[in-house]
Amino acid sequence: MLAENHMIATSDHRNNKYRDVTLPMAVIVIAHLFLFIPVTLYLGNADEFVTPLWGMLRLLSIPALVLFLLLFILGKIFRGELRRLHAILIAVIGLLIWFQSSILNWDYGILDGRGIDWSKYIWRGWLDLAIWIGAIFCGVAFYRRIGSIIVQLACAVFAIQFATIVYSGIENSDKLAKSKTGLRSSKSTLQEIYKFSSKNNIVHLMLDGFQADVFEELIGNKHVGKKYRMAFSGFEFYNETLGTFPYTRFAVPAFLSGKIYQNDVPKNEFITSVIKGKNILNTASQFGYEVDIASGPLLGSWYANSNHKNSYVIPSSGSIDSESDNATKLLDLTLFRAVPHFIKKYVYNNQSWLLNAAFAGQEYLQHRYFSHTGFMIGLIENITIDRASPVYKYIHIMNVHNPMVVTPDCRYAGSTMRATRVRLTVQSKCTLDTIVKLFDKMKALGVYDNALIVVHADHGGWAIPYRFKQILYWSSGEVITPFAASLASPLLAIKPPNSTKGDLKVSPVLASLTDIPDTISSIMKWGVDFGGESILELDAKAPRQRKFYYYTWQRDAWESEYTGPIQEFIIKGSHYETPWYAGRVIPPPLDRN
């Protein structure tokens, strides 16, 4: 009898022990999913979020509480050995989430709207699956023997992660302290964006990824070309324009200020210094223009450093509530990082993202073509002419950028599509149709003729130009992707004030995106020199040497302080038809001799 009572007491003690650790293990899993991984992602990509971390964590606490209650209730329902097994399984899941997100953190490229070829990574799926199944099997089959070890290991990993997050938070206190109040997508700011000046307007449209020879193909099309040429009355299209960089990050400072990134200072410091310093937006502000800015989240965090009157962030899902929009985005990224390979495909949801698509109401609104087109339509429908001061409107939209999502009638294709020349042209045409509507509305309201309008891209798309037949090389002799030529071919068209006679003209002037600030300054007679040339003063027959700076994406493209080696190309003539001479290579500081 005494022995039997002793066995019961021992059993009860053991059960109480594992009942007691159920809640700590639940806290560990929740901390990984709703604190550790989100904070790590935020600190590495702070500029991509328009709301502070604390606000997003507050919203994430709701699903965290739901999960906690679920685990807690299950712990109360289970009895005896089942309760013990429940606690150990929670610990195993916590360890697997940490291992997957920290150790098996596979590289899928930049998650900026590009498709992922999941068939290339099948081996990752089998490895992830083997680890998850193996760990869970061992936890279930041998929980009596190794249960305490698993619990202790989970606690140790939790302690390390907690210390790491605290340290990272202290190291990145500037990012955590940044209020980002100027980046909120508010209705009041949007109403100000709709207002034009009754006197002087500069409309600066930056169409991200719009390729020059795709535009040339559209204006030459026998069915729609005449409509576009008439809509762009007074414009001159510079079909030989050379870009500066293949991607947005360094192209933006170049065309706003004329400054070229030299890989000698941290890239975010460079961008901040340029946007805060001498550039065309701040110059316009100095000359009495009220600067209005509209852009996506990441870009909005850059532009917020300029001297502006209004800055509006275009929500990524068509929602005005940027805080919930960003919190959902952060949780989607967390799940993508935490789950094994075969499940990541469903979280990514064909570039629509699982939770964002679910909460947006209409899945297609997750694609920037639709959210940014929606912003433009709202602008067109609500333009008013009731501001006394001159206005400089800088609008950076992503309608043409990957992914390709529209049919020829500009409707959602039902899913994303691989970028091809035809699909890029279709999406570019749909974007151009929206720009034409804007011009038509400006003409109807009487503010088109006297406005300076600059329409351009930061780089081209992913369609190799028809005229380009060369092979490009790094200085080392390694071949460079021919898509460098498409990325070096951005759209550029300019209409000076009171220049509205005749249809769109085409100029063969050897222009560069770095000429944009000098051209605007010259047209407006501001007398500010940015180190480039005024395009309107260039001789189309005169030879000109221009430069393009090519670099490739790297795995830590957003987190690293510097970019990889930058290859300078020197081009003496048309970049479509004359050779590109490899100049100097500009490595990051640690790679320099």
**Which residues is 292 bridged to in the sheet?**
310, 393
Which CATH number does 198-314+368-591 carry?
A: 3.40.720.10
List CB contacts of 214: < 8 A, sequence separation 6 or more: 421, 424, 425, 428, 460, 461, 463, 491
List, in sequence order, every residue forming a beta bridge with 568; answer none if it has no partner: 549
pLDDT at position 18 over 50: no
Q: Mean pLDDT across the stretch 386-405?
A: 93
| 2-31 helix and 53-77 helix, angle to the nearest 10 degrees | 160
Of 250 and 52, more confident: 250
230-259 average pLDDT score = 96
Neighbour-count burial of 402, counting CB atoms closer than 10 A to its CB (0-12 exposed, 13-18 middle, 19+ buried): buried
What pTM value is reported for the model? 0.80
**Better pLDDT: 535 or 182:** 535
Above pLDDT 70, what percent of the chain? 90
Report the distance separating Cα 457 and Cα 464, nearest Å. 16
Residues 6+ apart with CB under 8 A from 478: none
Taking only the tens place, the pLDDT of each residue in 139-159 is: 999 888 998 999 999 999 999
Confidence tier at 378 by pLDDT (50, 70, 90): very high
In angstroms, the Cα distances linking 370 to 330, 341, 358, 402 are 21, 29, 16, 12
Identify the CA nearest to 507 among candidates 497, 517, 496.
496
Mean pLDDT of 53-63: 91
**Going by DSSP bridges, is the β-strand pair 566-572/545-550 parallel, antiparallel, or unpaired?**
antiparallel
Q: What is the pLDDT of residue 19?
A: 45
| Amino acid type, 21 | V
Amino acid code (one letter) for 305 = N
Tokens of 541: 């027959």
pLDDT per position as a tens digit, 513-532: 999 999 999 999 999 999 99
48 compared with 263, residue with greater pLDDT: 263
Which band of pLDDT confidence, cut at 50, 70 and 90, is reported for residue 13?
A: very low
Do 371 and 315 form a contact (C-beta atoms < 8 A)? yes
Instruction: Please report, rounded to a whole number, the percentage of residues in the chain having pLDDT higher than 90.
Output: 64
The CA distance from 290 to 444, in Å, is 23
Residue-wise pLDDT tens digits, 264-299: 999 989 999 999 999 999 999 999 999 999 998 778
Given a cut of 70, whether residue 20 has pLDDT beyond it is no
Beta strand 236-238 with 505-507: parallel, antiparallel or unpaired? Answer: parallel
Residue 67 has pLDDT above 70, yes or no: yes
| Mean pLDDT of the residues in the chain | 88
- CA–CA–CA angle 344, 350, 352 (5° rounding): 100
DSSP summary character for residue 56 = H
The arithmetic mean of pLDDT across residues 110-116, rounded, is 66
- Average pLDDT of the residues in 443-449: 95
Distance CA 221, CA 207 (A): 20
State the pLDDT confidence band at 324, using cuts at 50, 70 and 90.
confident
Residue with tokens 């974007």: 431
Residue 177 has pLDDT above 70, yes or no: no
pLDDT of residue 500: 73
- Distance from C-alpha of 7 to C-alpha of 17, rounded to nearest angstrom: 15
Integer angstrom CA distances of residue 197 from 192, 275, 437, 445, 584: 11, 24, 19, 11, 46
233 touches 244 (CB < 8 A): no
In what helix (H) or strand (E) does residue 461 lie, and over which residues does it extend?
none
Distance CA 362, CA 320 (A): 15
Instruction: Say yes or no to pLDDT of 113 above 70.
Output: no
Residue 557, pLDDT > 90, answer: no
DSSP symbols for 393-456: EEEEE-SSSSSEEE-TTS-EEEEEE---HHHHHHHHHHHHHHHHHHHHHHHHHT-STT-EEEEE
Highest mean pLDDT, choosing among 116-120, 202-206, 479-483: 202-206
Region 58-82 average pLDDT:
89
Q: Which of 167, 170, 43, 40 is nearest to 98 (CA)?
A: 40
pLDDT tens readout for residues 74-109: 888 888 888 889 999 999 999 999 999 999 988 887
241 in Cβ contact with 489 (< 8 Å)? yes
pLDDT at 315: 79
Q: Does a cis peptide bond (omega within 30 degrees of 0) precede residue 403?
A: yes
* Distance spanning both ends of the chain, measured CA to CA: 82
User: What is the chain's Cα-based Rg?
Assistant: 28
Q: Where are the domains of the chain?
A: 2-177, 198-314+368-591
Q: Which long-range contacts (CB under 8 A, 24 or more apart) does 268-277 make?
A: 268/47, 268/561, 271/302, 272/302, 272/305, 275/302, 275/303, 275/305, 275/306, 276/305, 276/306
Burial pattern 474-487, b for ≥16 Cβ within 10 A else e, equals eeeeeebeeebbbb
Residue 169: which pLDDT band, with cuts at 50, 70 and 90? confident
Determine the pLDDT at residue 120. 84
| Region for 42 from its dihedrals, namely left if φ exceeds 0, alpha if ψ lies in -120 to 50, beta otherwise | alpha
What percent of the residues of the chain are helix, what percent strand, and what percent coil, each to the nearest 5? 50, 15, 35
Q: What pLDDT score was predicted for residue 6? A: 44
Spell out a b/e string for 356-394, using b for 16 or more CB atoms within 10 Å of the CB, else e: bbebbeebbbbbbbbbbbebbeebbeebeeebeebbbbb
